[in-house]
Structure 1
Amino acid sequence: MKKNLFLLAILFSVQILNAQNNQVPEKKIQKAFAKTDFLSIEMPDFNEKNMGFSGIHYNLMLNNWSYAGLGIYGSISGIRGGFFTLGVNAGIKKYFGKDFYIDTGFHFGGGGGAAAPDGGGAFILPHFNLGYDFKNFSLNSGWSYVDFFDGGLIKGHQINVGLEIPLNYDYADYGVSENEYDLAALKKSGWNINSKRTSLMLHFNNLKVQGDETNKNVQRLGRATIRLAGFEFASYFSKNWFTFIKVDGAYDGIRAGYMDVFLGGGYHFAFNNNRTNLLAKFGAGAGGGGGVESKGGFLIYPDISIEQRIFNDIYLSINKGFVMSPDATFYTSSFGVGLKYYVERNGIISKEKSFKSGKFKGLEVITKHDIYVKAKRDANPSEDMHQISLQINLDLNKNVFLAGQTSFANFGGAGAYAEGIVGLGTRSNALLNGKFSLFAQILGGAAGGGGISTGQGFIIKPSTGLNYKLNKKVSFRTSGGYVKAMGGNLSSVFVNFGIKYHLSFLKMK
């Protein structure tokens, strides 16, 4: 009798453990907002027009009154086309009354370009704004101050204006990544909502310089083809309409340093049983560098793409369009190819697709500080160069991830230097009570500017390091490695350290 009771207790315990393992993870909500802002910066040369500085930011609400996030700025007016920066945001957003609020905070970053007096690239940008909340969006404006303090000459007070849009997201803890659940279990959970469609594309683009013989870029560059590598992220707000952000950097065709960033929207038409897509897009943004004359930097990007499914949710994309300034000072015909990955995420209900199961996929966002030891210059003596860097990892499985990284110099006399690189990495299983993990990665892509010797801009960057888990969302990360410019003299050991924010999202199958 005792033996039977013991066996029954074991079976009951196993059943409880299985039930716990099959429990669908809780759907959590992170409050956040996207922001675009503009400020007109007075330049140190009084004969020069102000530089129109426009930014795109994404901030997480840490509680009811404070936020932190990331932002990228670029020149869109004046004469400094190709001037870009990357930085971190932090601030306080406090309501008084029902709709008015005060927003005070700062942005710290690095970058530069376009032969501007940016020094090493490090700068601060505090602000104090008054805003009004219209519920679906808010507007704010106020005082700000910019100072490129590491040997730069750009500094001063100005008025800024901004537009904010609430952009919350659903997530689960990173620890449940790669767990899979059937549709019946998901229907009984908080994930029983409409799915959201997003896409990520890694692509190569070619810009053929156009114009007659009087065009400044034809005179400078001839009929060069600027070869770019980059990524595009799109989010759908209806069956057919979407918004996107696109970032590219030059790796061949002209001297290193050209970069462009576009924000826009488009229409998606699917046919051939959803195996073929036709997309029309229009974007506006900033671009320049690498000897390109783009005046203030404001560019437009009309484009048509055709995509063909090659495997499950992976499509081959071919695009044709234009990248140009409105007055055609910079005028190019663009042609490119890419691999695009579509994801139906964070919901099990869709009018277009039927699902059988869902799997949680890990996503990591890493902000870090890089130090290149004795970075080679084209003319000046070698010295250490520092960068602020953003890396995003998408887990392919428990141990392999796809990585994309962008970095901008902030100390070391190379303010115009920037990178845009992609690659693959692998990590170990958790070690020492789940606190540590080891990783290795190899990235490659476009880099240049700031007098750093990168030739036409292609670099490779292998590294290895470790993560230390601080809590369910955040880890400390450090690594070391080697960076080599394939067409230049840059050949440096580097180290970095930073913070990794990790979560998982539900991918439907």
Structure 2
Amino acid sequence: MLRGVIPNNRCLALARLFALVLALAVIPAISQAGELQIRTSVDHFIKTKTPYKGNVGTSVLYRFDNGFFFGGTVYSAAFGDAGGLFIGGVEVGKQFRLGGGNFAEAAVFYGGGGGAGQVPGDGSLLRPRFMLGHDFDGLQLAAGVSYVRVTGSKISTPALELAFTAPFNLLSGFGHVDSCSSCDDMMGKLHVSLKEVKAVAKSFRPLNDGSRTAGKKLSPMFLAGTEFVFDFTQKFDIFFSAAGAAHGDGAGYAEWLAGLRYIHPIGPVDLFADAGLGFAGGGDVNTGGGFIGAANAGIEAHLTDWISLTASLGLTGAMNGKFLALVPAISIAAPLGGTAKDRGDTPLNPTKWRVSGGYSVIPSHKGMRKPGTGGSKSLGLINTKFDLMFSPRFYLSGQAYTITYGDAGGFAMGLVGPGYTIPVGDRFAISAEVLAGAAAGGGINTGGGAVGVVNLDLDYKLSSSVALGLDLGWIHSWRGGLDAPLIGLGLKVDFTTFQ
């Protein structure tokens, strides 16, 4: 009678495995010093049975002094014809120093995803990798092999891999703190600070007749997403953004971009121009292999110390596909530590965060899948959440989910919304959240992609900065059949950035 409401043993086993990996990775951070790194990798499959030939991978890793490291990685299809295939998850590994600047590295990645019609099944990926490399005074270059097998698909092959790793000198500290003990040393190096976080809404207005994979013209698309902006120099910022289709045509389309933005302050506003590269696809949008470029110009008005508004106009297009669109966009931002006109003249200002990673389940239910897609399993998803703490109780949460189980390869969702925390004694806390965002892919019936979530979290503190969280929520698709509980378990870690 409870079949379809209670996830089966395999789904629960995956949840336990992911929670264990997170625990083993995060707990050493309490006692081990280390550094944040960013890694870019390129791989090419040796045996291919699908149009999916290889990836570009992007990782943010925390490496401890003893050689162990953990972090998040996103693989984006870049070779072949599988634009829109994304696989995200967690990676844990160890680097072994061999002398003379040489090293060996072994790691394992666990995650999930899909897209581009390449993963009709679960979309789970357990990827071991072994690399040999050299450290050029902090900049690391490595080459090696890995094995890629995505469950529920024909993707099963060794891969050759090349990776470049550099320090990501972000002004930050572990826990919720008011001063940065390592910032003086870090500011003597090339470094970045987190400047602002944006909620972005934009429209794609296709400019040609080949923007759809079938050769037809794409109708206007409306996207919702998030952007993180980092100070780089007085005149330049670095940005990372992700967005997904939430209304109109292209349900299932998703993109992420990284780029450089030039800033020209004029009184209370900033004029800007930027350019970025990234990966995108899904929703029958013709992005070819998935590699895209974007350029924009606009204006940002600083209304208060905590709110700014941005309007821009730009172009986004596929490098080896026919997709090309005019992109008007607006965003609301939370500046973290001052506006451009006083940047560099004020003391370091702390901004407190909570990051969590875990595993969530959506029980199978009537109407969850589109007609004719088949499948009756519950959905298992890896989740990653960032909470921006405006006070010890009130916060803004951004959340991303990617599929690893449930015959829905390619299903993913992103959510954003406010939350409020109430402490209960010394170790427990209850948080309530109201979230909205986009969800699509994998044959799941989300209509145009817009979804809403109400969530109740019960947290138990393992230490002053680490907590175990149980999530009890409900997800509802405004125009589709997805309407069910959203249940999760994960670890939460407090940290502080400085601007």
The aligned amino acid for 1:260 is E
Deviation at 1:51, TM superposition (A): 2.1
How many Å apart are 1:30 and its aligned residue?
A: 4.6
The answer to whether the Cα contact below 8 Å between 1:30 and 1:168 also exists between their aligned partners in 2 is: no
C-alpha distance in structure 2 between counterparts of 1:488 and 1:100, whole Å: 54
Q: Tell me: CA distance 1:351–1:252, structure 2 relative to 1, closer, same or farther (3 Å).
A: closer
Aligned residue number for residue 66 of structure 2: 64
Letter in 1 for 2:274: K
Work out whether 1:222 is the aligned partner of 2:217: yes
The TM-score normalised by the length of structure 2 is 0.86
Conserved? CA contact 2:127–2:148, under 8 Å: yes
CA spacing shift, 1:94–1:218, aligned 2, 3 Å: closer
What is the aligned partner in structure 1 of residue 97 from structure 2?
95
| 1:118 to 1:53, Cα distance in 2 relative to 1, 3 A | farther
Aligned to 2:336: 343
Shift of 1:109: 0.3
Q: CA deviation at 1:169?
A: 3.8
Contact 1:51/1:296 (8 A) holds in 2? no
Identify the residue that residue 56 of structure 2 maps to in structure 1. Answer: 54
Cα displacement (A) at 1:362: 2.1
The answer to whether structure 1 residue 210 and structure 2 residue 207 are counterparts is yes
1:128 deviation in Å? 0.5
Q: C-alpha separation between the residues in 1 aligned to 2:101 and 2:396? A: 42
Q: Deviations over 1:138-179 (max 9, x none)?
A: 111101101113x33211111101110111444445354xx6
Partner SS, residue 212 of structure 2: helix
- Counterpart in the other structure of 1:39: 43
Instruction: Tell me the equivalent position of 1:302.
Output: 295
Task: Give the Cα–Cα distance (whole angstroms) in 1 for the partners of residues 234 and 435 of structure 2.
Answer: 34
Q: Distance in 2 between matches of 1:161 and 1:118?
A: 29
1:320 CA displacement: 0.9
Please, what is the CA RMSD of the aligned residues?
Answer: 2.4
**Cα offsets for 1:154-208 (capped at 9, x unmatched):** 11111101110111444445354xx6xxxxxx79x77668594522111101111
Aligned to 1:25: none
Contact 1:29 1:168 in 2 (8 A): no
Inter-partner Cα distance in structure 2 for 1:204 and 1:146: 35
Residues 458-500 of structure 1 deviation map (CA, whole Å, 9 limit, x = unaligned): 0001110211111233211111111011010111112100111
CA distance in 1, matches of 2:160, 2:320: 27
- C-alpha separation between the residues in 1 aligned to 2:483 and 2:494? 31
Which residue of 2 is the match for residue 373 of structure 1?
363
- Residue pair 2:287, 2:320 contacting (<8 A) in 1 also: no
1:98 positional shift? 3.2
Structure with the greater alpha carbon radius of gyration: 1
Q: Which residue of 1 aligns with 2:474?
A: 482
Taking the aligned partners of 1:359 and 1:292, their CA distance within structure 2 comes to 42
Distance (Å, rounded) in 2 between the aligned partners of 1:286 and 1:130: 27
Change in 2 beyond 3 A, CA 1:30/1:318: farther
2:388 to 364, 373, 394: 394
1:73 corresponding residue in structure 2: 75
- CA shift digits 1:271-320 (9 cap, x unpaired): 12xx1111111111110101112111110111112111111242210111
Structure 1 residue 504 corresponds to structure 2 residue 499: no
Q: How many residues align?
A: 457
Q: Which of 237, 261, 266 in structure 2 is aligned with 1:266?
A: 261
Which one of the candidate residues 261, 278, 281 is aligned to 1:288?
A: 281
Give the deviation of 1:218 after TM superposition.
Answer: 8.8
Overall identity of the aligned pairs, in %: 24
Q: Distance in 2 between matches of 1:55 and 1:155?
A: 18
Structure 1 residue 124 displacement after superposition? 1.2
Shift in CA distance, 197/125, structure 1 to aligned 2, threshold 3 Å: closer
Give the CA deviation at 1:53.
0.9
CA distance in 2: counterparts of 1:340 and 1:190, whole angstroms: 27
Amino acid at match of 1:299: I
**CA distance change for structure 1 residues 202 and 498 in 2, over 3 Å: closer, same or farther?**
same
1:124 corresponds in structure 2 to 126
- Provide structure 2 residue ranges, at least 5 long, that are not aligned to the other structure: 1-31
| C-alpha contact 1:244 1:263 (8 A) present in aligned 2 | yes
1:364 CA displacement: 0.9
TM-score normalised by structure 1 residue count: 0.84
Question: Residue 478 of structure 1 contacts residue 497 of structure 1 at CA under 8 Å; is this kept in 2?
Answer: yes
Which consecutive unaligned segments of at least 5 residues does structure 1 have? 1-27, 180-185
